[in-house]
């Protein structure tokens, strides 16, 4: 059987499954993984691992840098605006500071859990991508603000645990409820594993461990703030999954994919603006001040779209695809 020149071509039905698993797919890195090709051409002995390592490392480094920059950005804003700025200025600046890390973080967690590998590996990868950024954010915040570690660490852990759990849940549900999954560059035609009972048992165990960790933390963070962080993270994860399905397929991008991406980005931005407006002026202001909240939400959606597009572009350059 001749090796197919395409990365995700279907395997012939005339070949037994035992032989299908042994087939090696001829991969054109210049076409399927341009970033890997720029590093060493087609000479890589293990492009699969290179695709995984480079793709995930890029997301992790970007998320870490953006997370560390949040407290620094807040400090800079406080120095520039000595008084209380107008709501649209305050909201726009908050989006510029928070949304880059928020969108990249939600995308990274959801993408890791949307990956086709065993669930334990996904969870470990998502933790490896997320925890260093949370630690970096905490250290940066402690350096900028005069705070007590005993107060800040539990609060940060609770808030970002809700972010992690909600984004990870979206990634798992997307794979359970849709025919799509995320796959790195693959040089074999072995069929992708399907979710089974063992996966569901692992998922139950992981969720139980995560909630047990959160329950032992003593934090004064209001439940409303925790729910708000988790809800916005879930919307960001939905945006990430939709973007993966729309732009990482080996097919032309359809109008529905573009519309769905824009709608989910706007929903995430609008949820943030609505929470901010409700805290400042009451929930009625979300509607009565629509001439402010809607343009502000569009501005936030543009930021989310830009950074999500950067993540999708990076994964595609590293050979990742969304496949059935």
pTM confidence score: 0.85
Q: Is 188 helix (H, G, I), strand (E, B) or coil?
A: strand
Give the span between the Cα atoms of 42 and 4, in whole angstroms: 16
Q: Return the bridge partners of 322, or none.
A: 182
Q: What is the pLDDT of residue 229?
A: 86
Write down the mean pLDDT value for the chain.
82
- Could you tell me which residue, 18 or 233, shows the higher pLDDT? 233
Q: What tens digit of pLDDT does each residue of 179-189 get?
A: 899 999 887 76
Nearest to 183 by CA among 314, 57, 48: 48
DSSP string, 39-74: HHTT--S-HHHHHHHHHHHHHHHHHHHHHHHHHHHH
Higher pLDDT residue, 118 or 136?
A: 136
- Model confidence pLDDT, tens digit, residues 275-289: 888 888 888 888 888
Pairing of strands 321-323, 181-183: antiparallel
Per-residue pLDDT reduced to its tens digit, 43-102? 556 788 888 999 999 999 999 999 999 998 888 887 777 767 888 888 899 899 999 999
Express as a percent the part of the chain with pLDDT over 70. 86
pLDDT score of 280: 83
Does the pLDDT at position 103 exceed 90?
yes
- pLDDT value at position 45? 66
């Amino acid at each position: 059987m001749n090796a197919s020149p395409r990365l995700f071509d279907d395997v012939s039905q005339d070949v037994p499954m035992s032989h299908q698993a042994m087939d090696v797919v001829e991969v054109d890195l210049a076409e399927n993984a341009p970033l890997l090709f720029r590093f060493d051409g087609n000479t890589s002995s293990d492009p699969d691992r290179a695709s995984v390592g480079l793709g995930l490392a890029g997301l992790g480094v970007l998320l870490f840098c953006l997370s560390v920059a949040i407290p620094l950005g807040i400090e800079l804003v406080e120095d520039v605006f000595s008084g209380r700025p107008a709501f649209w200025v305050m909201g726009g600046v908050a989006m510029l500071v928070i949304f880059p890390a928020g969108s990249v973080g939600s995308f990274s967690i959801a993408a890791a859990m949307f990956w086709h590998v065993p669930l334990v590996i996904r969870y470990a990868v998502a933790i490896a991508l997320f925890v260093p950024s949370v630690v970096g954010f905490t250290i940066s915040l402690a350096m900028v603000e005069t705070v007590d570690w005993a107060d800040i660490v539990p609060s940060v852990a609770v808030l970002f645990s809700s972010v992690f759990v909600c984004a990870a849940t979206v990634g798992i549900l997307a794979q359970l409820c849709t025919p799509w999954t995320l796959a790195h560059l693959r040089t074999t035609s072995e069929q992708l594993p399907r979710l089974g009972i063992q996966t569901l048992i692992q998922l139950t165990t992981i969720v139980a461990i995560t909630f047990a960790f959160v329950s032992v933390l003593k934090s004064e963070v209001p439940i409303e703030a925790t729910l708000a962080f988790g809800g916005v993270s879930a919307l960001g994860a939905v945006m990430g999954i939709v973007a993966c399905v729309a732009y990482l397929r080996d097919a032309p991008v359809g109008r529905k994919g573009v519309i769905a991406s824009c709608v989910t980005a706007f929903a995430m931005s609008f949820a943030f603006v609505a929470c901010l407006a409700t805290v400042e002026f009451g929930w009625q202001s979300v509607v009565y001040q629509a001439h402010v909240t809607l343009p502000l939400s569009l501005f936030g959606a543009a930021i989310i779209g830009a950074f999500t597009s950067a993540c999708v572009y990076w994964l595609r350059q590293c050979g990742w695809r969304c496949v059935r």
